[in-house]
Structure 1
């Protein structure tokens, strides 16, 4: 079995959590929790990352480096009731964890025809979205230019589902055929795919029900690109 799966089980048992309790705390289904500990040969998943990894580390009180690679302090076994005072707490996932950069979750405040936008903090399932630092380095992205917003509606299914978190790069606001952007469309922030067709730019939904989610012309001040979607984290299970 993959070693990180053994460490996951070890940490869960050290916390005294059943698979069901662990699944509830991490906001995954019990079958998914089972798949996390099951070997790949037996049908288990190969790896976890992003929001799921960060949440699991937070619940278990371990660092991601230990869980994935065995580096760092091993979690102590679950204490018996008469020995609780002798057990030292294990450090959980904090913003100081060098393996992750925490991107603020916000709600966009836009106005029709205005290129800029305001933000107000959001705190659904935590106030930040943890993103692997090595991923940011590979993509050469500036964390201070990234924001995280929550997907609303069903227009971009199956690419994004309602409740998913997407990371937006504010430095990337030039139209690219086929890329997904956050757009200020007539005073509403929307997540759409930009498509070039017949000399014009169009906002296209990924939902196959194109009769309901018809494409819209992206032109002038009524359609302003706010940033490109560079990463998504699935929040529904």
Structure 2
């Protein structure tokens, strides 16, 4: 993990274009090759980013006379030719730390069981739903459930005991990433929880995310079609 606090400007060049003017920002370069640009707000959500696989190159910037301006150009490019072009004017802090292998997220028993039950009874979300897999991997962490609706469209499901704004933000970030995958998009979202805060529901619905309130006891009581001895 490399963390760089720098005065920089950022340009995204690809299907769309975006520009971040010169300012102090946090640049995060992870061992998996991903690069993200952060401001001192927006919680964990980056201003812009590039997910792996991608290549990273750094070069000096020269003026018309071929003299080094002191600025550095970082180019992060994915296989599609999309680029994140970061012009670094001044590095204020630069640190690199080997984090090692992460053991992964350990959820509390009720929440993990709730996810397991919903996976087993995915039609709780609607008739015709089918499960693709639990803990669907992405570059920023696993999506609780990936399913397909009755029309075959992909649906990302975030499962919580108590649904709050942080959970909606988490699902929003997963959806932004999953919708970059040509094999999955368009991907819609379902925010499923035992309780959903009014503010979280408002934010989710504003972003086109469907909210589903789960009854843990009802899910536990659903009979399976598997043969039992007792």
TM, length-normalised to structure 1: 0.24
Higher strand share: 2
Higher helix share: 1
TM, length-normalised to structure 2: 0.25
